[in-house]
Amino acid sequence: MPSSVIRYFRYNPKTAVLKITFVTGRVYEYLSVPQEIYREMKEAFSKGQFFNKYIRDQFTFRILE
Q: What is the pTM of this model?
A: 0.91
Span 12-34, pLDDT tens digits: 999 999 999 999 999 999 999 99
Span 42-64, pLDDT tens digits: 999 999 999 999 999 999 999 99
Using H for helix, E for strand and C for coil, what is the string for the chain?
Answer: CCCCCEEEEEEECCCCEEEEEECCCCEEEECCCCHHHHHHHHHCCCHHHHHHHHCCCCCCEEEEC
- The domain limits of the chain are 6-64
